Amino acid sequence: MTIYPDFYDDFCCKADKCRHTCCAGWEIDIDESTAAKYQQLGGELGEKIRQNIVAAAGVWQFRLWEGDRCPFLCADGLCELIRTADESILCDICTNHPRFFVTVGGYELAGVGLSCEKSCELLLADTAPLSLRTETGESWPLKELLRRLDLPASDEDLGYQTGLTADDADFVLSGMAKTEPIDAAWTAQLAQLRAEPLAMGAEVPRAFDRVYQYILYRALEHVPQYGWGTVLSYAQFNADFIYLTYQLTGQLDESIRRWSEQIEYSTDNVRILLNLLA
C-alpha cells in the first residue's frame, strides 16, 4: 500500500516561475532505458542530446554547463527537451523529481522533497498536524502509520520540542559543521549562525510541528538501520537547525529549502547526522 502526505496531489512544478531551478547545481543521471533511447533518437534533437551527455563511472549524465546548469535549461527557466518534444523524452530523475518513494515495513511511503520551493509552499500552506492518505482514499494521522509500523510514538514524540538552549544550539551547529557543504553560501551562513547571538525563547511558528512531522515521516526509512530513538532525534535536530536559520533570516520556507538541499538530498550528510545521533 502506498501512503501520501496530505498535500501530495497538489504538487505541480512551477517551471519558469521557480526562483531555484532544480535543473542546475546537481549531477543529472540518466537511467539506462532513457540513455538507450537517446542513443537511437534521430534528427537534430537526438544529435544535440548525444553531444551533451557523457558516461561517468558507467552512468550516463548530462554535461553540465557553467554554473552546473543542464545544457537544456533555457534562459527563461523552461526545458528545451519538453519544448521540442514532450515530457516523455525526459529521463526518470527529471520526470519524478522531487517525488520520492521508499519502502518501510511493507508500506511504500511517497512524498516530495523539500529542496523544491513548491514543496515548501505546500507544506507551509497549512498549520494543522501532518495527515496522510492511502491509495484507497483513507485519511490517517501520522500516529496511525507509526502504530501500523509498530513504532511507539507518544504525543510528545509527534511534536517539535521547543525550549532550545544555547548548549542545544551549539550542539546542532557543531553537528552541521561536520557535514559536507553544498556550496560556499552554506558555509558562510553556518559561520554566521555560530557567530551571532541567538534569541533563545523566540516565538516558534505555528507550522513547526508540521515541519518536524514531515522530516520524521521522510526519515522513517532509516529506522531499521538506526533505530526509532535515533530517527526521532534526527527529526528534532534538523527541525532545531531550521528554527535557528529561520531566526537569522526570517524566511521559514527558504530555511527549509536550503536545509533540504544540504541534508535531505545528500545521503552522505544524512548518514553523518544519523551516526552522530546514534
Angle at 125 between CA 120 and CA 129, to 5 degrees: 95
pLDDT at 200: 66
Distance CA 223, CA 212 (A): 16
According to DSSP, residue 79 is labeled B
80 and 139 part of one domain: no
131 and 213 part of one domain: yes
Does 13 fall in a domain?
A: no
Residue 68, pLDDT > 90, answer no
Does 240 fall in a domain?
A: yes
According to DSSP, residue 89 is labeled G
* Residue partners of 271: CB distance under 8 A and separation at least 6: none
Residue 241, pLDDT > 90, answer yes
Does 17 fall in a domain?
A: no
Model pLDDT for residues 220-230, shown as the tens digit of each residue: 999 999 999 99
Output the CA torsion 188→67→241→221 (10° steps).
-150
3-state secondary structure of 101: strand
**Count of alpha carbons within 13 Å of 226, Cβ hemisphere only?**
21
Number of domains within the chain: 2
Does 16 fall in a domain?
A: no
86 and 106 part of one domain: no
Amino acid of residue 89: I
266 and 144 part of one domain: yes
Q: Note down the domain range covering 161.
A: 2-8+98-277
145 and 221 part of one domain: yes
Residue 97, pLDDT > 70, answer yes
88 and 61 part of one domain: yes
64 and 132 part of one domain: no
164 and 249 part of one domain: yes
**Average pLDDT for 60-77:** 88
State which of 36, 61, 96 marks the end of a domain. Answer: 96
124 and 262 part of one domain: yes
What is the band of 254 on the pLDDT scale with cuts at 50, 70, 90?
very high
State which of 68, 96, 124 marks the end of a domain. Answer: 96
Does 214 fall in a domain?
A: yes
Query: What's the mean per-residue pLDDT of the chain?
Result: 92
What is the band of 216 on the pLDDT scale with cuts at 50, 70, 90?
very high
pLDDT at 226: 97
- List the grid coordinates of 6: 496530505
Distance CA 217, CA 238 (A): 13
What is the band of 95 on the pLDDT scale with cuts at 50, 70, 90?
confident
Q: Assess contact for 75 and 83: CB atoms under 8 A.
A: no
Q: Assess contact for 255 and 242: CB atoms under 8 A.
A: yes
pLDDT at 198: 74
Residue 236, pLDDT > 90, answer yes
pTM (2 d.p.): 0.91
88 and 132 part of one domain: no
For 230, left (φ over 0), alpha (ψ -120 to 50), or beta?
A: alpha
Residue 269, pLDDT > 80, answer yes
141 and 84 part of one domain: no
pLDDT at 86: 85
pLDDT at 201: 66
Out of 75-79, 156-160, 162-166, the most confident range is 156-160
For 58, left (φ over 0), alpha (ψ -120 to 50), or beta?
A: left
pLDDT at 204: 87
> Closest Cα partner for 173 from 157, 185, 160, 187?
187
70 and 158 part of one domain: no
In sequence order, the β-bridge partners of residue 133 are 4, 139
* Residue partners of 114: CB distance under 8 A and separation at least 6: 98, 120, 123, 214, 256, 257, 259, 260, 264
Does 237 fall in a domain?
A: yes
Model pLDDT for residues 16-25, shown as the tens digit of each residue: 787 888 888 8
State which of 42, 61, 96 marks the end of a domain. Answer: 96
Sheet containing strand 53-56, edge to edge, reads 29-30, 59-62, 53-56
